[in-house]
């Protein structure tokens, strides 16, 4: 098929971990064209997407830029929408997600895929504070009312959190790995850099089959204790779990969070929500992503593939 005949998918947040994965899978399939949205067209990540064949369009994911979003979505068949990390007290995630979706409708996009999370406020009857979950669920609720074919993907906890945000401390020959979850609590985790794309490719390839669906993206269901044990096995290094589940312990291991007490509340709220209510609603199909992507990385495969040995890693563009 000539490039001109291929459906065009716009990817918001294209240089993000999720976005890069989506752009890569769509272009490697050779069945789609991609327009990649970024704030900075000449960043290393944006240039790398351009070399892969993506059209780069400069537009920040900020509220009140709906006109720019509409232009960016012009003539697109589909759009992958996500919201960048937002720390409280900022509350832009809901209006931003809503404006992205409204712009897609206004531009006549055929199908939107939004990266959502569960409604923590509703599931916990207001007892847990995790706006970066609930605000995505509210965006999804809004999208359900729009005259556009829509599908939701819902990513598990990222494996990359341990590399990027909660990096271990090296103490002599021991790697001390802090986790915001209890040692024995099994939760869904995933590699956003390799798992988001196959999920999006599957959905954009069969829009009718997934209309209205919310699809968890899961690589492994594993406890922090098991993750530490796998880390030792793969790297040959001595490693120990460090408890960061609870305010004092979290601030001991990630002291820089003290600058933003609301963010601490949010991390604790998210972790308690996952433990007490389950990360995903019970009716979600936890096997879907691993069925459509049998190469989805388990934590152990992720460690082998990345060769991670406990250092802090930045995935920024």
Ligand X SMILES: NC(=O)c1ccc[n+]([C@@H]2O[C@H](COP(=O)([O-])OP(=O)(O)OC[C@H]3O[C@@H](n4cnc5c(N)ncnc54)[C@H](OP(=O)(O)O)[C@@H]3O)[C@@H](O)[C@H]2O)c1
* Smallest distance, ligand X to C-beta of residue 303, A: 17
Helix (H) or strand (E) holding 104: helix 93-106
Which stretches of the chain bind ligand X, using CB under 6 A? 13, 15-18, 38-40, 43, 46, 60-62, 82-85, 117, 132, 155, 157-158, 161, 192, 315, 317
Closer residue to ligand X in complex, CB, 192/207: 192
Q: How far is CA 200 from CA 79, 91, 143, in A?
A: 10, 27, 17
Closer residue to ligand X in complex, CB, 192/219: 192
Closer residue to ligand X in complex, CB, 124/196: 196
Closer residue to ligand X in complex, CB, 114/241: 114
- CA dihedral of residues 100, 105, 111, 115 (deg, nearest 10): 20
CA atoms of 125 and 153, how far apart (whole Å): 23
Start-to-end Cα distance in the chain: 32
Residue nearest to ligand X (CB): 16
DSSP 75: T
Question: Cβ of 24: how many Cβ atoms within 10 Å?
Answer: 21
Closer residue to ligand X in complex, CB, 7/94: 94
Strands ordered across the beta sheet of 214-217: 55-58, 33-38, 8-11, 78-81, 111-116, 149-155, 214-217
* Smallest distance, ligand X to C-beta of residue 2, A: 29
Closer residue to ligand X in complex, CB, 7/96: 96
Contact 91, 135 (CB under 8 A): yes
* Smallest distance, ligand X to C-beta of residue 91, A: 13
Closer residue to ligand X in complex, CB, 109/267: 267
* Smallest distance, ligand X to C-beta of residue 172, A: 30
* Smallest distance, ligand X to C-beta of residue 150, A: 18
CA atoms of 291 and 112, how far apart (whole Å): 22
Bridge partner residues of 220 (DSSP):
189
* Smallest distance, ligand X to C-beta of residue 35, A: 13
Pairing of strands 169-171, 174-179: antiparallel
* Smallest distance, ligand X to C-beta of residue 61, A: 3
* Smallest distance, ligand X to C-beta of residue 131, A: 10
Closer residue to ligand X in complex, CB, 16/124: 16
Contact 97, 136 (CB under 8 A): yes
Q: How far is CA 97 from CA 9, 259, 266, in A?
A: 17, 27, 19
């Amino acid at each position: 098929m000539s490039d001109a005949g291929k459906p065009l998918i716009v990817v918001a947040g294209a240089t993000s971990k999720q976005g890069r994965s989506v752009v890569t899978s769509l272009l490697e399939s050779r069945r789609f064209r991609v327009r990649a949205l970024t704030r900075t067209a000449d960043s290393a990540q944006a240039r790398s997407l351009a070399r892969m064949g993506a059209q780069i369009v400069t537009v920040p994911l900020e509220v009140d830029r709906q006109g720019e979003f509409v232009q960016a979505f012009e003539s697109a068949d589909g759009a992958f929408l996500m919201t960048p990390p937002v720390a409280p007290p900022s509350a832009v995630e809901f209006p931003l997600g809503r404006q992205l979706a409204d712009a897609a409708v206004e531009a006549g996009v055929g199908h939107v895929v939004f990266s959502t999370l569960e409604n923590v406020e509703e599931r916990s009857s207001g007892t847990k504070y995790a706006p970066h979950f609930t605000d995505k669920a509210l965006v999804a609720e809004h999208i359900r009312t729009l005259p556009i074919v829509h599908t939701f993907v819902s990513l598990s906890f990222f494996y990359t959190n341990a590399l990027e945000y909660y990096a271990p401390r090296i103490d002599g020959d021991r790697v001390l790995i802090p986790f915001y979850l209890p040692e024995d609590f099994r939760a869904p985790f995933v590699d956003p850099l390799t798992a988001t794309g196959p999920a999006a490719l599957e959905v954009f390839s069969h829009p009718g089959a997934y209309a209205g669906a919310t699809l968890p993206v899961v690589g492994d269901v594993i406890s922090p204790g098991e993750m530490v044990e796998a880390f030792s096995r793969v790297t040959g290094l001595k490693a120990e779990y460090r408890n960061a589940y609870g305010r004092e312990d979290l601030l001991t291991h990630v002291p820089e969070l003290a600058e933003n007490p609301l963010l601490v509340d949010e991390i604790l709220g998210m972790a308690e929500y996952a433990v007490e209510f389950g990360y995903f609603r019970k009716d979600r199909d936890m096997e879907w992503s691993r069925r459509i992507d049998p190469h989805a990385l388990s934590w152990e495969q992720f460690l082998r593939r990345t060769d991670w040995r406990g250092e802090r890693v930045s995935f920024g563009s």
